[in-house]
Amino acid sequence: MPIYELPLLLRIMPKPEIVSTLKRAATAIFEKGGFIRKIENLGQKDLPAKTSSHGVVSRQAHYFVIYFDVPPKHISNLEDIFNRDIDIVRNRIYKHDLTVNNKPCTLEDELKPPPYRRDVQKLLKITERQESRKKKFSYKSGLNYYPFQK
C-alpha cells in the first residue's frame, strides 16, 4: 500500500466537533482497510481566498494533514466520502513523495549559448537526419532549363 497525504481543511467550529469530524475521516480510512501513520495539525489559518463549500462561505479554516496507507483502488471512494462531508471545506489526496533527487544539476549546461546546449544539439541532429532523407531535385535532368516554377 502506498503512502498518501490528505490535506484537510475543516470549517471553523468548536473543538469537540473538530474531533468528531477527524474521527469520521479516520474511520472512513480504517473501513477501507487502511491505517493512519500521522496526523499533523497546522492550526487555524486564513484561507487564501474565500471559499464556498456546501452552501457556506468560509474565510478561515482549521488545517490538518493526515498521512495514511490505503489500497489504491479505494482512493476515489474515500475522496467521495470526504467531498460529501459538510464540515470539510476542502480535501485533496496526494501521494507521499519518497523519491530522492539523485539527478545532477544541469544549470551550467542550460546557461550555455544555444548551439552548445545538449538538447539543442540533439534537435540539430534530428533536423540534419530529416534533411538528408528529403529528396532533392537533381539538376542532371538533361534539360537546359528548370522545369518547375520558381
Partner 1 sequence: MAYASLIRNFHNFTCRVLSTSNRLVHNVSPNVWEEKHRSESDKPTFMRNPYKYKKQECILCKLNIKPDYKNVRLLSQFQSRFTGRIYGRHITGLCKNQQRKVEQEILKAQNAGLMGYYTKDVAFCKDPKLFDPNHPFRPHKY
Binding site for partner 1 (CB under 8 A): 7, 9, 42, 47-49, 51, 61, 63, 65, 89-90, 92, 94, 97, 101, 103-108, 110-111
Q: Which three cell numbers stand for residue 73?
A: 483502488
State the nearest-atom distance from the C-beta of 111 to Zn ion, in Å: 11
Residue of the chain from 49, 98, 100, 105 that contacts Zn ion (CB under 5 A): 105
Binding window for Zn ion (CB under 5 A); candidates: 14-22, 61-69, 104-112, 136-144:
104-112
Instruction: Tell which residue, 39, 18, 21, has the closest CA to residue 82.
Output: 21
Whole-number Å distance between alpha carbons of 95 and 4: 4
Let me know: does 7 contact 67? Beta carbons within 8 Å: no
Half-sphere exposure of 78 (CA within 13 A, CB side): 28
**CB contact set of 36 (below 8 Å; sequence gap of 6+):** 26, 29, 30, 66, 67, 68
Q: Which is nearer to partner 1, 9 or 29 (CB)?
A: 9
Only one residue has cell 522545369, namely 147
Closest to partner 1 by CB, 108 vs 131, is 108
Q: Which is nearer to partner 1, 100 or 143 (CB)?
A: 100
Minimum Å gap between C-beta 48 and partner 1 is 3
Site of interaction with Zn ion (CB under 5 A): 105
